[in-house]
Amino acid sequence: MKEENDIKETRPEANKKPSAEPPHELLDLTVGGVKKWAAGVPGVVASVKDLIGEKTLLRGGKALFKMNQFDGFDCPSCAWPDPDDDRSPIAEYCENGAKALAEEATTKKITADFFKNNSVYDLAKLTDYEIGHLGRLSEPVYLPKGGTHYQPISWDDAFKKIAEHLNGLASPDEAIFYTSGRTSNEASFVYQLFVREFGTNNFPDCSNMCHETSGFALSPTIGIGKGTVKLHDFYDTDVIVIIGQNPGTNAPRMLSALERGKKKGAKIIAINPLPEAGLMGFRNPQQLSGVIGGGVNLGDLYLPVRINGDLALLKALELLLLDFEKKSPGEVFDHEFISQKTVGYDAFIKQFDHYRLDDLAAASGVSTALLYEAAQLIAFKKRIIFCWGMGLTQQHNGVDMIREIVNILLLKGSIGKPGAGACPVRGHSNVQGNRTMLINHHPTAEQLDRLQQVFGFNPPRTGGYDVVNAIKAMHAGKVNVFFGMGGNFLSATPDTTYTAEAMRKLALTAFVSIKLNRGHLIHGKESLILPTKSRSEIDMVKGEKQFVSTENSMGVVEWSKGMLKPISDDLINETQIVCRMARATIGNRTVVDWQRYHDSYDAVRDDIEKCIAGFEDYNIRVKQKGGFYLPNAARDEQRFAKQFNGRAPFTLTTVPENTLAPDEYLMATTRTHDQFNTTIYGLDDRYRGIFNERRVVMMNEKDIAQAGFKPGDKVDLFNYDDGIERVAPLFIIVPYPIPERNTMTYFPETNVLVSVNNVVKGSNMPASKYVKIKIKKHDPDLPMRKASTSR
């Protein structure tokens, strides 16, 4: 697929282009012990310190106490739900929510003058941490063809440029409209409406790198691509399994729910190649006992699965459960549920004639003794919740893994009843809402019919590009315009060198954003950066304070009202950006009253209600305390897949053969405790005991010795997928309790190693947690991206 010169970009002659990667330079690593506790005093101290560090203590501090409150705004960090009833009067937030708020509440800002003094090339020499800490974007800027510096542009002229480019395309499918997961329901709805009226379904979105795998796995089995539990289910359950997810860092408020469940007797099983702090113990910062010590031991059982060993592990559990069932018929499996609510049970059970526990245990990397303990914890319990995250969704066979989880839930009848079910833990705070609002490259015919009935235009019927296909289409020259509603497409996506080439081929890139990021520096021939309001800021429209709404990980739609003064008077909210772009582009042929939406979000919500099921009386119910739940037939009625008359099928999967060459390792890319995706809050990964360095590769001690390395050695990482060499130079080896032949690194630094063709079967997501790498002693002659010298 790639040509020889595709890889040349990391060679010296290419250094004249702005760097698509953070500088290849090391800081000053220190290594402490792996932590066994999450949150507690250091968590709270770290969050307050962060706000002070951003000189925003007053601004941010005031806002913190409104975050996730009934009349406040939705935390911009993760999608974990807020309690339906009793929200902490002190604060319903966590350390990482506070960091996310500090990021956007900063009083620092970037003006057009700043861009005049700093070329795009020079800005790209900064680290991602430095770029993120330059401050908030405060006015629209434009990079002309051949230009080296972004320069000021009026909003009207910016929309005119976009309109010119879009209207000049040979086909609407030559434009791509990306969405990150912070965009509100209201802005998402008008966005997809404009893009569909313009004429394309090219909606790559961050779900295509996140939980697309979950949706793809769940829809055909349980009939809905979303989870089936409510927060309350965690408070009264028997077993919670957390597989491939790191709640202590990425959904810290989940720990309070685990703590509550645990106190009522729930057992927690953690399945992860790393003994993550949040899976082991928790000190609740919102309760006095958590602040002064105490704390709860969370994990009852930790299974150190090998990277990608999960399918074998889940099958081993099923095999053991079957054994228990044979010994105590009817006590382990829920036969009434199986016969009434499922199909395919006999074929499913039959497959186990061919599996041996020892083989499955060996493939999973977990001992038969530990597997037996896990099966025993589950076997005689009725209420089981499975939670999962990127550790599964970003595996090449992630769809199978999630369907295997569904198989277990079906065997146990543990779905669609209190204290039980499937819980994909979503990422971005409104990523689930974006999808519900039809930001989707493959909408269903019914969804499009509905749009047509309500609005009268004929929406495009052919599917559009997802993230991976968008990159390939841009690279192949089939696309000319990229519009990004938030996010950092370049740094979040795989195969950085290839993706950068793809972006550089475009005629126009336009990015709506609150902060500058590297993605804005790898641009098309012309480029626009359009600054918008953050969720915590007041949104006045025609003298009236507006609110938006979002949907959390458990399908609750709730309002969100900003309360901080916007950082600049020249910011336009996302809904109005879309309305003005629509008017500029299709104003003379549109059937939609964009001015109405521009002037009132109530009007947007009224029309959402007409188009999308579950939003009846939207404007009334969204104002109720705690919002409202969207319907979920799997959860509420045990009604599953339509094509099986409401039953759920068991799925037959196969255990993959994972062969590695003698000098190969599997690499999973993950987040530190100090980042939100590509936004780097700080340089520490406190719970993992790794400080002041991101270019590290975590390795098993035995592997380090066997390869002739020592802890602290400098190495280069290579990937050879598609027959080409990808290199990520200059990493430091950190010995870590991780299974042999497995390694862990941080993204976005190692995205350069992930082939655009290394995808999850079915969902077409990048398999960023299944990357084959080689590790070689650092070669000082390797061409490298140097950091800015002015620092």
Ligand X SMILES: Nc1nc2c(c(=O)[nH]1)N[C@H]1C(S)=C(S)[C@@H](COP(=O)(O)OP(=O)(O)OC[C@H]3O[C@@H](n4cnc5c(=O)[nH]c(N)nc54)[C@H](O)[C@@H]3O)O[C@H]1N2
Instruction: Answer yes or no whether residue 210 interacts with ligand X by CB under 6 A.
Output: yes
- Would you say 470 and 479 are in contact if contact means Cβ atoms under 8 Å apart? yes
CB 137 → ligand X: shortest distance, Å?
A: 8
Instruction: Answer yes or no whether residue 509 interacts with ligand X by CB under 6 A.
Output: no
Instruction: Answer yes or no whether residue 503 interacts with ligand X by CB under 6 A.
Output: no
Instruction: Answer yes or no whether residue 271 interacts with ligand X by CB under 6 A.
Output: yes
What SS3 string covers 120-143? HHHHCCCCHHHHHCCCEECCCEEE
**Residue choice 18, 204, 486, 562 for contact with ligand X (CB under 6 A):** 486
Q: What is the CA radius of gyration of the chain?
A: 25
Nearer to ligand X, 523 or 647 (CB): 523
Position with the least CB separation from Mo ion: 427
Instruction: Answer yes or no whether residue 276 interacts with ligand X by CB under 6 A.
Output: yes
Instruction: Answer yes or no whether residue 510 interacts with ligand X by CB under 6 A.
Output: no
> Which residues, other chains included, contact 246 with Cβ-Cβ below 8 Å and sequence gap of 6+?
272, 274, 276, 278, 279, 389, 391, 670, 671
Instruction: Answer yes or no whether residue 110 interacts with ligand X by CB under 6 A.
Output: no
How far apart are alpha carbons 164 and 154 in whole angstroms? 15
Instruction: Answer yes or no whether residue 221 interacts with ligand X by CB under 6 A.
Output: no
Instruction: Find the farthest-apart pair of alpha carbons in the chain and give their distance in angstroms, rounded.
Output: 76
- Residue 547-586 contact track with ligand X, rule CB under 6 A, x = bound: ---------------------------x------------
- Would you say 474 and 762 are in contact if contact means Cβ atoms under 8 Å apart? no
The residues that bridge with 484 in the sheet, in sequence order, are 178, 511
Stretch that binds ligand X, among 166-174, 384-392, 596-604, 693-701 (CB under 6 A): 384-392
What SS3 string covers 28-48? CCEECCCCCCEECHHHHHHHH
DSSP string, 706-757: HTT--TT-EEEEEE-GGG--EEEEEEEEEE-S--TTEEEEETTTTGGGS-TT
Instruction: Answer yes or no whether residue 513 interacts with ligand X by CB under 6 A.
Output: yes
Stretch that binds ligand X, among 283-291, 383-391, 589-597, 699-707 (CB under 6 A): 383-391
Nearer to ligand X, 63 or 210 (CB): 210
Nearest Cα to Cα of residue 276 among 249, 315, 316: 249
Binding site for Mo ion (CB under 5 A): 210, 427
Q: Amino acid identity of 709?
A: F
How far apart are alpha carbons 669 and 400 in whole angstroms? 20
How far apart are alpha carbons 484 and 205 in whole angstroms? 9
List the single partner that 553 binds among ligand X, Mo ion, none, CB under 5 to 8 Å by kind. Answer: none
**Residue choice 10, 188, 679, 700 for contact with ligand X (CB under 6 A):** 679
Instruction: Answer yes or no whether residue 615 interacts with ligand X by CB under 6 A.
Output: no
Q: Return the SS3 of 423.
A: strand
**Residue choice 10, 185, 677, 758 for contact with ligand X (CB under 6 A):** 677
Instruction: Answer yes or no whether residue 274 interacts with ligand X by CB under 6 A.
Output: yes
Q: Amino acid identity of 467?
A: V
Rounded-to-10 torsion of CA 647, 353, 362, 757: -50
DSSP string, 187-231: HHHHHHHHHHHHT-----BGGGGTTHHHHHHHHHHHSSSS----H
- Residue 735-774 contact track with ligand X, rule CB under 6 A, x = bound: ------------x---x--x-------------xx-----
State how far the alpha carbon of 76 is from the alpha carbons of 66, 99, 431, 459, 550, in Å. 12, 10, 11, 32, 10
Nearer to Mo ion, 19 or 679 (CB): 679
Instruction: Answer yes or no whether residue 474 interacts with ligand X by CB under 6 A.
Output: no
CB 453 → ligand X: shortest distance, Å?
A: 30
CB 427 → Mo ion: shortest distance, Å?
A: 3
Residues 177-206 that bind ligand X (CB under 6 A): 180-182, 206
CB 752 → Mo ion: shortest distance, Å?
A: 19
Nearer to Mo ion, 227 or 427 (CB): 427
List the single partner that 512 binds among Mo ion, ligand X, none, CB under 5 to 8 Å by kind. Answer: ligand X
Q: Return the SS3 of 680.
A: strand
- Would you say 308 and 243 are in contact if contact means Cβ atoms under 8 Å apart? no
Q: Is the dihedral of CA 327, 332, 336, 338 positive or negative?
A: negative
Nearer to Mo ion, 431 or 648 (CB): 431
Nearer to ligand X, 226 or 515 (CB): 515
Containing H/E element for 324?
A: helix 310-327
List the single partner that 159 binds among Mo ion, ligand X, none, CB under 5 to 8 Å by kind. Answer: none
Q: What are 45's two structure tokens?
A: 């101290």
Stretch that binds ligand X, among 66-74, 247-255, 405-413, 581-589 (CB under 6 A): 247-255
Stretch that binds ligand X, among 212-220, 372-380, 653-661, 667-675 (CB under 6 A): 667-675
Task: Catalog residues that contact ligand X under the rule CB under 6 A.
Answer: 77-78, 96, 180-182, 206, 209-210, 243-246, 249-251, 271-274, 276, 305, 307-308, 310, 389-391, 394-395, 427-428, 485-489, 492, 512-515, 517, 532, 534-535, 574, 668-671, 675-679, 747, 751, 754, 768-769
